[in-house]
């Protein structure tokens, strides 16, 4: 992890930068710390308390928690413009969470003291953060329901759509960032083997194409039908 000299955040991408008064931006520029992470590096880990918020400038990140021996649950994927470290703004007991870069990632960090001052001085920032949390909460509620009620097959199908949606796809429709089956399982809340078998079956039937590490959704409708039945 290296503190950046070239190509810092241009103060135009994240919630914070977009919501503050111009004169506050100068204080943001002074208070922030910009970090670079390479693929596979941890931005923060379960052991330590997360202080402050991280705003992703570019790259992609998975937010996850280890679970028992050798399992991990992926809470979400985050990319440019997203915020990491919800807990910063909530006092008290936080559940231990890690964030790991999925590709070269640049982000900036602001500490709690500065954020507190920002909220007081910029009502629209507090408002935006409230909106952001409310939106996240809604998504979380949907996902809770899905994890609780949908069979593994549907959850894995949905995970593929989420990955494509959040992480993006390239010109040929393949996921922009190769995601391991282990990570797919971690997001869908199932085992590696279950994911493997489903992907193999779908590839055989042409619903998806698997080219080495890369995955592409072919038959959008058929794959979505596996979810839809249970969304009724």
Partner DNA sequence: AGCCAAACCTGACAAAAATCAGGTTTCCCC
Partner DNA sequence: GGGGAAACCTGATTTTTGTCAGGTTTGGCT
List residues near DNA by CB under 7 A: 151-153, 180-182, 189-194, 196-197, 199-200, 210, 212-213
Q: Which lies closer to a copy of itself via its Cβ, residue 21 or residue 210?
A: 21
Q: Which lies closer to DNA via its Cβ, residue 24 or residue 73?
A: 73
- Residue 212, CB-side half-sphere exposure with 13 Å CA sphere: 3
Q: Which lies closer to DNA via its Cβ, residue 123 or residue 151?
A: 151
Start-end of H helices in the chain: 15-19, 22-31, 112-121, 123-149, 152-167, 181-188, 192-204, 220-228
* Residues 168, 6: Cα–Cα separation, whole Å: 26
CB within 8 Å of 25: residues ≥ 6 apart? 11, 17
Pick out residues in 88-107 that bind a copy of itself (CB under 8 A). Answer: 89-90, 94-95
Site string for a copy of itself, 136-175 (x = CB under 8 A): xxx-xxxxxx-xxx--------------------------
* Residues 9, 132: Cα–Cα separation, whole Å: 20
Shortest spacing between CB 172 and a copy of itself, in angstroms: 30
Q: If 0-12 CB within 10 Å is exposed, 13-18 middle and 19+ buried, where does residue 173 land? A: middle
The answer to the question of residue 117 lying near a copy of itself (CB under 8 A) is: no
Q: Which lies closer to a copy of itself via its Cβ, residue 144 or residue 225?
A: 144
Shortest spacing between CB 46 and DNA, in angstroms: 17
Task: Kindly provide the b/e burial profile for residues 208-231, where b requires at least 16 CB atoms within 10 angstroms of the residue's own CB.
Answer: beeeeebbbbeeeeebbebbeeee
Shortest spacing between CB 80 and a copy of itself, in angstroms: 21
- CA 220 to chain centroid, in Å, comes to 23
Q: Which residue has the tokens 């930068």?
A: 17
The answer to the question of residue 87 lying near a copy of itself (CB under 8 A) is: yes
Which residues are bridge partners to 60 per DSSP?
A: 79
Choices 22-30, 61-69, 101-109, 218-226; region in contact with a copy of itself by CB under 8 A: 61-69
Q: Which lies closer to a copy of itself via its Cβ, residue 38 or residue 141?
A: 141
Binding site for a copy of itself (CB under 8 A): 65, 67-68, 71, 73, 75, 86-87, 89-90, 94-95, 119-120, 123, 126-127, 129-131, 133-138, 140-145, 147-149, 188-189, 230, 232
């Amino acid at each position: 992890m290296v503190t950046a000299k070239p190509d810092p955040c241009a103060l135009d991408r994240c919630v914070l930068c977009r919501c503050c008064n111009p004169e506050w931006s100068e204080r943001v520029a002074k208070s922030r710390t910009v970090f670079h992470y390479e693929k596979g590096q941890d931005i923060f880990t379960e052991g330590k308390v997360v202080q402050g918020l991280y705003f992703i400038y570019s790259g992609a990140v998975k937010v996850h928690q280890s679970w028992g021996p050798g399992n991990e649950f992926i809470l979400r994927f985050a990319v440019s413009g997203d915020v990491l470290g919800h807990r910063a703004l909530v006092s008290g007991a936080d559940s231990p969470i890690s964030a790991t870069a999925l590709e070269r990632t640049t982000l900036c960090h602001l500490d709690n003291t500065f954020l507190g001052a920002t909220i007081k001085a910029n009502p629209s920032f507090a408002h935006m953060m409230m909106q952001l949390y409310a939106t996240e909460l809604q998504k979380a509620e949907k996902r809770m329901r899905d994890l609780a009620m949908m069979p593994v097959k549907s959850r894995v199908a949905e995970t593929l759509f989420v990955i494509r949606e959040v992480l993006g796809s390239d010109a040929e429709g393949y996921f922009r960032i190769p995601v391991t089956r282990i990570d797919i399982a971690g997001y869908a809340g199932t085992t590696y083997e279950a994911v493997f078998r489903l992907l193999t079956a779908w590839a055989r039937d042409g619903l998806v194409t698997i080219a080495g590490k890369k995955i592409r959704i072919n038959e959008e409708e058929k794959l979505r039908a596996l979810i839809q039945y249970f969304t009724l």
